[in-house]
Amino acid sequence: MLDFIVRFFQRHSLGSKEVAKERLRLVLVHDRANVSPELLELLKNDLVQVISKYIEIDERGLEVTLDSSEEMVALVASIPVRRVKRAVKVASV
């Protein structure tokens, strides 16, 4: 009887599939964020190239990491600036 009552009330709360879905969503965010170091290195090189067009940066001090918190994953880049170029030449297309 108690079992029946418990189940009766459970049915009115959130279905367990919503819990499953939410947990899965979070766990996949973390799983998918496990990017290989090689990929981060490639990304770093490309970043240096693009940013160097506008700003002189200290390449050795550059840090690119994936930061994951409970809810989301962020790409965090720390880029020490040496000098901002005076005139930015707009690349002709």
Partner 1 sequence: MGEVIVITSGKGGVGKTTATANIGAGLALRGYKVALVDADIGLRNLDVVLGLENRIVYDLVDVAHGHCRLKQALIKDKRFEGLHLLPAAQTKDKTAVKPEQMKEICLQLKEEFDYVIIDCPAGIEQGFKNAIAGAEKAIVVTTPEVSAVRDADRVIGLLEAAELKEPKLVINRLRPKMVRQGDMMTIEDIIEILAVDLLGVIPEDEQIIVTTNRGDTVVQDQRSRSGEAFRNIARRILGEPVPLMDLERDGNLFTRLRKIIGLR
- Give the C-alpha distances (Å, rounded to integers) separating 17 from 13, 46, 57: 11, 42, 49
- Eight-class DSSP state of 53: T
Q: Which of residues 33-92 bind partner 1 (CB under 8 A)?
A: none
- Output the smallest distance, CB 83 to partner 1, in A: 40
- Output the smallest distance, CB 90 to partner 1, in A: 37
Our finding on whether 16 is near partner 1 (CB under 8 A) is yes
| 2, HSE (Cβ side, Cα atoms, 13 Å) | 0
Residues that bind partner 1 (CB under 8 A): 11, 14-18, 20-21, 23-25, 27-28, 31-32
